[in-house]
Structure 1
Amino acid sequence: MSFPQHESRLYNKELSPESASGTWNTRSLFNWWMSAWHSLGGYTVAIGLFALGLMGWQIVIAFSLGIIILYFVNNLSGVAGQRAKVPFPVFARASFGVYGANIPALLRAIVAIAWYGIQTWLASSVVMLLAVKLWPNVEGLQATNFLGLSILGWICFLALSALQLGVLLGGMEAVRRLSDIAGPTIWVAMIALALWVLSQAGWKIDFSYASSELGGAGTQTLSMAAAVFIIVAYFAGPSLNFADFTRNAPSAASVRKGNRLGLLINAIAFGVISVVIALASVEVYGEAVHDPIELMADIDSVTLLIVAILAVSLATAGINIILNFVSPVYDLINVWPRFFTFKKAGILVAVLSVVITPWNLFASPAIINHFVGSVGALMGPLFGILMVDYYLLRKGVLHTDELFNEDPSGIYFYRKGYNVRAVLALAFAGLLTIMMSVIPALVSIAPLAWPVGVIAGGGVYYLIARGHVPISPGDRETHTGRIPSVEGQQ
């Protein structure tokens, strides 16, 4: 150890390799992926591809291609996290600087907290449906509204928020145990829902169904490309901070195998069954039903309904914790390591998710598209910069102790704790992706913002940072040419 790590203001045990448990084996990561994909959001994103004018079989292909891309993307970020054994915001210190890493950390936290609140509210809507079915008298609580939500809605929302917080306060091992349960559980609901709607459809579906008139070959090709990267973009944030979980994996091989089973096999199967449910709903309702809650509301069997709702509620809570809760907790700890603990940061995230009144947020297309959407568009540039820095410029060499070194002589200190080259690359690529996401004239290419961001962010960073990235502490002391001096860094 090159410096007194524990005395650094950048140090926090929960951020350090000391807290990496090594217990997230292949099975745990496989269940993690099941929890990540098996949700109302995953179903809605898959079925939403019909809006692009694609046929059922084309959606299955596009969904599968998107998953294949995500498999390679998460192998990169996951293996890097397993080797470094630190969460995403600490890993980002190598490329953005020990203080500059708060830029990607806070950007990721904003997106995660917004979607955490939204997903909690969506899950509470399922709980409300169950409550009304079991106790019809509570329906009267839906008549009174406060801040845009009914009294029954508030009760279900706050109850689910408290339950999720309770899991997180148990630490990462409690999160892992929930993931092990929640992931497989949703298959019960999905299979039950698929069998029910298929029976209603007379056991027939049409994979050539399209919700709108098909365009020419060029239009269909663009729509297919858009569909592929919509699937990738849906998981852009979690792919960025995948290290939060793989740091606890025992080996790189376990990460790759968990990704192979959980993504290539499981996620593709989930996409196929989602399309089957949607196509069966076309036979019953005349159009693809985008919200599975609508299908559940029509189920006559109380037993089947209860099983489906409980499974969906558990699965939604599981995905919410692993994708939208853990990330901002680590991000907040990284901002103020000496103050925040896992529990303190978790409580703050839970409070913020209520303060933003997510139902109002979700109801405003302007906020979702222009604020959350534009911040989300920065996930591609951030991923490109981090992966280029680690794999191409540093050749996979990372000095973990130095990530907690606040001394100006530290190799990841750069200038005043910030690597301006990484910030400039993010600003350039981020401007491109934000324009693609929010300018109406560019709406047709908006789904391509993620790959454009990865290429632009990673490419620009490689060009301006090559030859100026320290590989080891000796680079500063011996002046090897990678970094001529502390003062000369940008």
Structure 2
Amino acid sequence: MDHAESGTMAADGGFAGDTGLFNADLAPVPPAGRDWSWVNMSTVWMGMVHNVVAYEAAAGLMQLGLSALQSLAAVAVAYFVLFVAMWFNARPGTAYGIPFCVLIRSSFGPRGAQLPVVIRGFCAIFWFAVQGYAGSLAIDAIIGTLIPAWNTLTMPILGMALKGWVAVALFWALHAWIVSHGVHRIRNFELIAGPLVILVGLLATAWGLTVAHGVGPLFDQPSRLTGTDAWLTFCVGVTGMIGIWSTFAVNIPDLSRFVRSERDQVIGQLIGLPLTAIVFTAMSVVTTSATILVFGHPIWDPVQLLLALHEPWVLLLGGVTIIVATLSVNVAANIMPAAYDLVNLMPRRLGFNSASMLVLVIGLFFAPWLWFHNANSIFAVLGGIGGLLGPVTGIMLTDYYLIRRQRLSVPELYRYEGRYAGRGGWNPAGVWAFLIGGTCALIGAVVPALHTIYAFAWFIGIAVGAAVYGVLATRRRAVEGLSPARA
């Protein structure tokens, strides 16, 4: 161990940890600082659920051939499963005030934890780039409506028109403004953003019901799939919807660490996640079904729908809503966890604000404009991410509830030596469970004969990861004679 790793630094209340694992942004939130109520938790989730990618993913289920009712059923199943996973994975954050990148050290070791943290950070930045590009399309459409000359800025640069680059730059600047004052500004922004998006979503739903003259014609659109194809597509849809939030099922402690009680986090997530998500999805399905009646084909991109309506005031109102919704999900679900992950990698060099700005820069290198407009590519990426992070969720749940029995030594989570050190900072049980679970989940993507099981990637990953970790960690405890508290 080098000198930098063995040093300590003080925090509030005299808490100390090794400098390679600790700084003020990673320190446990003291009970007095956990002031988020269930209202804050639910509005944060409202702001995250109401986003362009979730809208397009739900509407994209219909483009893949499912009926409106089948699409709603797929979403309901996915979000109920997610709620249960997030409910249980959020509890240690609320109980101990620690973020994901610290909690994961319990099951992977202080050095091994960097593996899931890097993958989670990569996914968060990827989604930031996707959402950011989606929001920039709304800015492009609004400016093009107000200033027709804007639409002549079509010179291509690295696969995107000049006007697109300017729109991206403007949207990135809005992100920077919101995150520049830390977590509390994010919380306050979500109090406004979540309810606003619901209101405009209701207007879009009213339009859909008006042009269809009621609910009947919208839900009478039959499925284009039958038999096995219908069930496999349904499973792909469920896994894909889970894939949108599988990243957050892992790092939900990043939010729950600020919540004042277990009751607040459960009620807040129940209202903000499955209930709001199902309502929002119903809105997107109704609206997309209406586009089939009006235009003869589904329009699953909300910006393209706004342009197709040829009403400037509708475009402005809808475009601003898309911008607010995208900012809402990006700052809470993508920038915030990615920033914590970067701080965890370099705690002596980065704080939350500087790490947030670094996320904005790195996000550009994902170039989402090169592949964004394709429902199949979105579901392929969603399924892959879900399969890869499923094992991490399973490992975390097994470690906290079965191996640790909900008891953690918080000071030792910030040290290279101690009960969580494993072997040289690596917990073999966590690493092997992740590798085996991830392989089982994703093998269907590369082996044609096993392609069918890829539709269940997240479920396979979480089950295999949990089972392998449980066996290996229990065996280690038995061999070494450790109690649950010392395992």
Whether TM-score is above 0.5 comes out as: yes
Contact 2:107 2:399 in 1 (8 A): yes
Give the aligned partner of residue 201 of structure 1: 212
1:442-461 alignment to 2 at 5 Å? 442-461=450-469
Q: For the residues of structure 2 that align with 1:191 and 1:364, how far apart are their CA atoms? A: 26
Q: Which letter does structure 2 place at the counterpart of 1:83? A: A
Q: Counterpart of 1:13 in 2: which secondary structure? A: coil
Q: Is 1:231 aligned to 2:241, yes or no?
A: yes
The Cα of 1:163 is off from its aligned counterpart by 1.3
1:295-444 alignment to 2 at 5 Å? 295-360=305-370, 362=372, 374=384, 376-406=386-416, 408=417, 410-444=418-452
Q: Which letter does structure 2 place at the counterpart of 1:419? A: N
Q: For the residues of structure 1 that align with 2:448 and 2:201, how far apart are their CA atoms? A: 36
Q: Which letter does structure 1 place at the counterpart of 2:85? A: V
**Relative to structure 1, is the Cα distance of residues 247 and 99 closer, same or farther in structure 2, using a 3 angstrom cutoff?**
same
Give the aligned partner of residue 162 of structure 2: 151
Give the aligned partner of residue 4 of structure 2: none
Contact 1:55 1:209 in 2 (8 A): yes
**Relative to structure 1, is the Cα distance of residues 45 and 140 closer, same or farther in structure 2, using a 3 angstrom cutoff?**
same
Q: For the residues of structure 2 that align with 1:246 and 1:80, how far apart are their CA atoms? A: 8
Contact 2:100 2:251 in 1 (8 A): yes
Contact 2:40 2:191 in 1 (8 A): yes
Q: Deviations over 1:47-82 (max 9, x none)?
A: 122245332222222221222111111101112211
Q: Counterpart of 1:466 in 2: which secondary structure? A: helix
**Relative to structure 1, is the Cα distance of residues 125 and 96 closer, same or farther in structure 2, using a 3 angstrom cutoff?**
same
The Cα of 1:245 is off from its aligned counterpart by 0.6
Give the aligned partner of residue 164 of structure 1: 175
Contact 1:84 1:91 in 2 (8 A): no
1:84-99 alignment to 2 at 5 Å? 84-99=96-111
Q: Which letter does structure 2 place at the counterpart of 1:451? A: F
In the alignment of these two chains, the number of paired residues is: 473
Give the aligned partner of residue 183 of structure 1: 194
Contact 1:35 1:183 in 2 (8 A): yes
Give the aligned partner of residue 280 of structure 1: 290
Q: For the residues of structure 2 that align with 1:422 and 1:463, how far apart are their CA atoms? A: 11
Q: For the residues of structure 2 that align with 1:377 and 1:480, how far apart are their CA atoms? A: 34
Q: For the residues of structure 1 that align with 2:372 and 2:231, how far apart are their CA atoms? A: 31
**Relative to structure 1, is the Cα distance of residues 109 and 291 closer, same or farther in structure 2, using a 3 angstrom cutoff?**
same
Q: Is 1:47 aligned to 2:55, yes or no?
A: no
The Cα of 1:6 is off from its aligned counterpart by 4.4
Q: Counterpart of 1:12 in 2: which secondary structure? A: coil
Give the aligned partner of residue 58 of structure 1: 70
Contact 1:370 1:438 in 2 (8 A): no
Contact 1:211 1:287 in 2 (8 A): no
Contact 1:467 1:482 in 2 (8 A): no
The Cα of 1:92 is off from its aligned counterpart by 0.2
Select between 265-274 and 354-363 the one with higher mean Cα deviation: 354-363
Q: Which of 29, 45, 52 does residue 41 from structure 2 map onto?
A: 29
Q: Which letter does structure 2 place at the counterpart of 1:115? A: W
The Cα of 1:296 is off from its aligned counterpart by 0.6
Q: For the residues of structure 2 that align with 1:207 and 1:371, how far apart are their CA atoms? A: 28
Q: Which of 127, 150, 154 does residue 115 from structure 1 map onto?
A: 127
The Cα of 1:349 is off from its aligned counterpart by 1.0
Q: For the residues of structure 1 that align with 2:30 and 2:372, how far apart are their CA atoms? A: 36
Q: Deviations over 1:88-107 (max 9, x none)?
A: 11110011001111111000
Q: For the residues of structure 1 that align with 2:377 and 2:304, how far apart are their CA atoms? A: 25
Q: Is 1:134 aligned to 2:146, yes or no?
A: yes
Unaligned runs of 5+ in 2: 1-9
**Relative to structure 1, is the Cα distance of residues 369 and 65 closer, same or farther in structure 2, using a 3 angstrom cutoff?**
closer
**Relative to structure 1, is the Cα distance of residues 439 and 3 closer, same or farther in structure 2, using a 3 angstrom cutoff?**
farther
Select between 440-449 and 389-398 the one with higher mean Cα deviation: 440-449
Q: For the residues of structure 2 that align with 1:154 and 1:450, how far apart are their CA atoms? A: 35
